[in-house]
Structures are given as C-alpha cells and as structure tokens.
Copies of this chain bind each other. A is one copy, B any other.
C-alpha cells in the first residue's frame, strides 16, 4: 500500500525532471520559479490517488498530474497579479520578482503547456478528448470563481449560497477534476469517476470552510500566520455572512459598519478582537464546523459508492481527515 507522502515525493521528482528548458528563458524562468516555490502538491497527488484506486502503475499518471500542477500555478501567477500580492509561500510573487507583463505572459504559456501535457498522454484519442474536456470545463469554472470573488469585494448583498458557489468554483472543482481525471485515465467507469468528482467537490468545500475557520480562530503558532487576516481585509467569508444572517439588527449594523471601510493599522487588533467576540457570541465557529462536517460526510458517502478496493479508499478517507486536521 502506497502513502500520500510517497505520491507527493514521486510527483516532486517528476516535476523536477520536467521543468521548462526551452527558449526564451525570459518566458519560462518565471514558470519554473513558481513551480519550484514548493507547496504540498495536493492537486497532482489527488490525480495520482484517483488513478491508484484502479491501477498500480501510478507513474503513468504523472504527465496528467503535471498538467494539473502547471495549471494550478498559472492561476496563482495571475491571481497574485490581480490581488497585487507581494508574497507567495514566503517568497516574492512572480510579478514582484520579474514584472507584471512577464507574469501575464508566463501564466498564459503555462496554461497552453498544461494542455500540451494532456494532449501528449499515452492514451486513446477518446480518453484524451474526455480528459481535456473536463480540464477545459474546470479551467472555465476556476476563472468564473475568481471573477465572482472579485465581484464580491464590491458588493454588500452577497448571499451564503453565492459564497458557497464561488468557493466551489474557485477551489473545489480543480480538486474534484484531478480525482476524476486520474480515475478515468486508469480506466474507471464514468459512474465511479463521477463519485470521485463529488467526493473531491465536497472535500474542497469542507477544506475552504476549514480555511475560513482557521483564519479567524486558528492558533498562530501552529499555522504560521496571525489570526484575523480575513477580518482585516473585510473578506465576506462564510463566517461573516452567517453572522449577518443570524445577528439581531443592532449587532448586524455593527458588523456591517466594521466591514464598510478599510482597516486602519492601529485599529486592526481592536477590530479583530471585537468581530471574533461577535462571532463567538453567535456560535459561528460551531455553525461553520457543522457545515464543514456535513460536507465531509457527503464526501465520504460518494467515496463509499466507488467500486475500488476498500484499503485504497481508506487511504483517500485518511487523506480527507488529515486535510481537515491540517497535519499535512
């Protein structure tokens, strides 16, 4: 039985051997830079896991896993430009280290190169078309999710339903697609592949809610960043939207007032303290935890329906648990 760690290491080696070495260097150096900034390689590992459920020769899934990772890094490069983010994983972002034009163009070529990985797969034309179609649909959805995220910054009437749709598009569908593509590449039936997609989609939603929880209630020492980042940025997370929904008119007004203007540096601690207090008073932590667990249970229901060896499925279930405990 393989471990997730094994897949991550196997992918890391494959990536190292498949960086871009063709000219022009100015175009591909930024791509290689972001690809080597690290990260947990969870999405390519998911593709490999999806494959491993049905076949043992996991090395055959590496080129498709690479496509997923190159695509993911393309979205990071362009998102960092849009967010004007100076740092990514503790290092300068691509547009910061090079420049914005380089970031745009390197991102573009990474998207095309991700397609190149898929089109070169040693697989039937029908399978390649099918995988490339899922990949394209996912790429479109990820762009749509990013647009919704940007829209929400300027809207005061975002609903919880809209927020959940946005995180589904921006985060979950790529995890879901990676699992499904891996399964199909290994010859899984469409039904099994779709159950894995749904497993990944629900897991992605649970993961994002966990992320929102940690940002507000997380232990800074354990998770490496100060709590309250989302609050300072007035991010309309599930926590905030749920609080608005259940707060009495007075508290609702106070919440809205805090989120109406940019956070002043010297008022940040007070703002974080007060909003966290309101969230606690309204039991937002428990409510979010409950929804997260509901998504986790739904994920497992789909996993149970997949016709694959129980011990291999157990590995995916353990992975889901690890992800939620953030031991990874």
Known: A82-B101, A119-B133, A132-B132. A109 touches B24 (CB 8 A): no
Closest to A103 in B: B104
Known: A104-B78, A125-B128. A140 touches B112 (CB 8 A): yes
Query: Is the Cβ of B116 less than 8 Å from the Cβ of A136?
Result: yes
- Cβ-neighbour of A101 out of B24, B125, B133, B150 (below 8 A): B150
Within 8 A of B (CB), among A97-116: 101, 104-105, 107-109, 111-113, 115-116
Known: A109-B140, A128-B129. A151 touches B26 (CB 8 A): yes
Q: Does A139 contact B (CB under 8 A)?
A: yes
Q: Which residues of B contact A139 (CB under 8 A)?
A: 108-109, 112, 115
Q: Which residues of B contact A113 (CB under 8 A)?
A: 140
Q: Does A146 contact B (CB under 8 A)?
A: yes
Rounded to whole angstroms, the CA-CA distance of A172 and B56 in the bound complex is 45
Q: Does A247 contact B (CB under 8 A)?
A: no
Q: Does A257 contact B (CB under 8 A)?
A: no
Query: Is the Cβ of B125 less than 8 Å from the Cβ of A24?
Result: no
Interface of A is mostly: helix
Rounded to whole angstroms, the CA-CA distance of A108 and B142 in the bound complex is 10
Within 8 A of B (CB), among A112-149: 112-113, 115-116, 119, 124-126, 128-129, 132-133, 136-137, 139-140, 143-144, 146-148
Query: Is the Cβ of A109 less than 8 Å from the Cβ of B144?
Result: yes
Q: Which residues of B contact A239 (CB under 8 A)?
A: none
Query: Is the Cβ of A82 less than 8 Å from the Cβ of B105?
Result: yes
Q: Which residues of B contact A111 (CB under 8 A)?
A: 108, 111-112
Q: Which residues of B contact A129 (CB under 8 A)?
A: 119, 125, 128-129
Q: Does A65 contact B (CB under 8 A)?
A: no
Q: Does A81 contact B (CB under 8 A)?
A: yes
Q: Which residues of B contact A146 (CB under 8 A)?
A: 105
Query: Is the Cβ of B82 less than 8 Å from the Cβ of A143?
Result: no
Query: Is the Cβ of B144 less than 8 Å from the Cβ of A115?
Result: no
Query: Is the Cβ of B108 less than 8 Å from the Cβ of A81?
Result: no
Query: Is the Cβ of A112 less than 8 Å from the Cβ of B150?
Result: no
Query: Is the Cβ of B132 less than 8 Å from the Cβ of A105?
Result: no
A153 → B minimal CB distance (Å): 11
Known: A24-B144, A26-B147. 9 other contacts (CB 8 A): A81-B101, A101-B150, A105-B143, A107-B108, A109-B140, A112-B136, A115-B136, A116-B136, A124-B125
Top 9 closest A-B pairs, CB basis? A125-B125, A109-B143, A27-B147, A112-B139, A82-B101, A125-B126, A125-B129, A115-B136, A119-B133
27 A-B contacts (beta carbon < 8 Å): A24-B148, A26-B147, A26-B150, A26-B151, A78-B108, A81-B104, A82-B104, A101-B150, A105-B150, A108-B111, A108-B143, A109-B139, A109-B140, A109-B143, A109-B144, A111-B111, A112-B136, A112-B139, A115-B115, A115-B139, A116-B136, A119-B129, A119-B132, A119-B133, A125-B126, A128-B129, A132-B132
